[in-house]
């Protein structure tokens, strides 16, 4: 197997990296208190990326893409994550769109895909409920037929970016008498529909990313049903496979690891450089291995997608390794920084601008959201290794 990038891919990486360096020089303070200013800057970046055709390069040309290889799209995602650049809507580009390309009608593709490629919309994902997390098929949000519409009632929770979103992908129960994995349908809903309410959930790092979304007699046209009615579980599962894919974990992790290594080389602990501590050296070496393993799993997933395959166990492998890598990075960082590691962003004494402290708090949810590590290991065991269910 050839692990080298092509000349075209290398040239694009250099072009994108140089462009991001220039654009991000005008960014508001990263991680500052003004979330609205950061969001506005992200929207400006999204429009510029869309104008260059970079948001959806691997898409077919008829839907706003360039029809290039999936590895070009990986290079894009890798550089964006490494540079901590805003502007992507992963819910739209990485999750909704490829799912719609597999299960959607031509009418749905023509309606919903071009606005994503142009950077005009933000999507969010309505899956989890107050009583349905890892056991997602137990969801109780109901959609009842009424003429040309479905009427939705219920509650979704932990809905990332719902307060910013224009559309939401909703898993609903349309046949309450069917077995729980049957009787579920996948709907696309406008967030401005009457009866839809968004309430914020602030995490322990003080961020507003999560939300609770309530549906009170929300009408959704039947033409927004993706796939077969009562067979939406399979549509939703396809989207989960795309959600769990991605090179973002390793790219962002590599940036943090480089910063930790630089800190270890320039700072001492108990009278000697942190970089000379054999325990810390060993932990940093282990993290370097984890970053590369996560990266190669992501490359394999991209190759599969380029072959027209939907990664399943491979996505779960990438999700387990990638999210646990994030936690290992922040745990090592907190140990390295000592008591100063507890200082929040904004404190003039906070090492690395308080990024490790913030990362340590937000990373708690990494191995829970998008399917817990336990669920991913079950998928790897049963669908990957053919092991019997316990």
How many other CB atoms sit within 10 Å of the CB of residue 123?
25
How many other CB atoms sit within 10 Å of the CB of residue 31?
16
Residue 129 appears among annotated catalytic residues = no
How far, in whole angstroms, is CA 127 from its chain's centroid? 14
The DSSP result for 223-262, as a single string, is: GGEESSTTBHHHHHHHHHHHHT--SHHHHHHHHHHHHHHH
Sign of the torsion formed by the C-alpha atoms of 309, 108, 78 and 360: negative
Q: Cα(272)–Cα(176) distance, rounded to whole angstroms?
A: 65
Cβ neighbourhood burial of 305 (10 Å; 0-12, 13-18, 19+): buried
Candidates 194, 39, 56; CA nearest to 115 is 56
Please provide the size of the chain in residues.
Answer: 390
39 conformational bin, left if phi > 0, alpha if psi -120 to 50, beta if neither:
alpha
Q: Cα(234)–Cα(222) distance, rounded to whole angstroms?
A: 18
Q: Cα(85)–Cα(201) distance, rounded to whole angstroms?
A: 24
How many other CB atoms sit within 10 Å of the CB of residue 95?
25
Which H helix or E strand runs over 216?
strand 208-221
Longest dimension (CA), the chain: 75
Of 78, 243, 314, 366, which one is the catalytic site residue?
243
Is residue 212 within 8 A of residue 198, CB to CB? The reply is yes
31 conformational bin, left if phi > 0, alpha if psi -120 to 50, beta if neither:
left
Q: Which residues of 35-65 are buried (b: 16+ CB within 10 A; e: fewer)?
A: eeebbebbbbbbeebbeeebbbbbbeeebbb
* Positions marked active-site: 243
């Amino acid at each position: 197997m050839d692990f080298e990038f092509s000349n075209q891919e290398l040239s694009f990486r250099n072009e994108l990296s140089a462009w991001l360096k220039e654009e991000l020089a005008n960014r508001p303070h990263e991680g500052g208190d003004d979330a609205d200013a950061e969001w506005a800057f992200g929207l400006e970046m999204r429009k510029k990326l869309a104008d260059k055709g970079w948001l959806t390069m691997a898409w077919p040309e008829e839907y706003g893409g360039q029809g290039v290889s999936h590895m070009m799209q990986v290079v894009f995602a890798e550089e964006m994550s490494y540079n901590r650049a805003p502007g992507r809507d992963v819910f739209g580009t990485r999750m909704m769109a490829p799912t719609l390309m597999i299960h959607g009608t031509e009418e749905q593709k023509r309606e919903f895909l071009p606005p994503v490629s142009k950077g005009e919309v933000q999507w969010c994902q309505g899956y989890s409920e107050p009583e349905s997390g890892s056991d997602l098929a137990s969801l109780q949000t109901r959609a009842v037929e009424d003429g040309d519409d479905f009427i939705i009632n219920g509650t979704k929770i932990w809905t990332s970016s719902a307060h910013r979103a224009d559309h939401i992908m909703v898993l609903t129960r349309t046949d309450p008498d069917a077995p729980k994995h049957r009787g579920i349908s996948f709907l696309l809903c406008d967030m401005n529909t009457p009866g839809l309410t968004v309430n914020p959930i602030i995490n322990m790092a003080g961020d507003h990313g999560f939300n609770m979304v309530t549906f009170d007699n929300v009408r959704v046209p039947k033409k927004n049903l993706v796939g077969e009615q009562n067979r939406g579980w399979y549509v939703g599962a396809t989207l989960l496979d795309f959600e769990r894919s991605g090179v973002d974990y390793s790219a962002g992790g590599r940036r943090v690891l480089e910063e930790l290594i630089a800190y270890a080389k320039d700072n001492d602990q108990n009278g000697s450089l942190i970089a000379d501590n054999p325990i810390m050296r060993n932990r940093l070496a282990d993290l370097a291995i984890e970053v590369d393993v996560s990266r190669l799993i992501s490359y394999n997933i991209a190759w599969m997608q380029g072959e027209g395959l939907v990664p399943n166990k491979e996505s779960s492998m990438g999700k387990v390794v990638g999210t646990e890598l994030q936690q290992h990075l922040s745990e090592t960082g907190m140990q390295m920084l000592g008591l100063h590691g507890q200082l929040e962003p904004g404190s003039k004494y906070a090492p690395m601008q308080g990024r490790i402290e913030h990362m340590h708090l937000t990373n708690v949810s990494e191995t829970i959201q998008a399917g817990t590590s336990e669920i991913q290991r079950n998928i790897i065991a049963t669908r990957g290794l053919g092991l019997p269910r316990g």
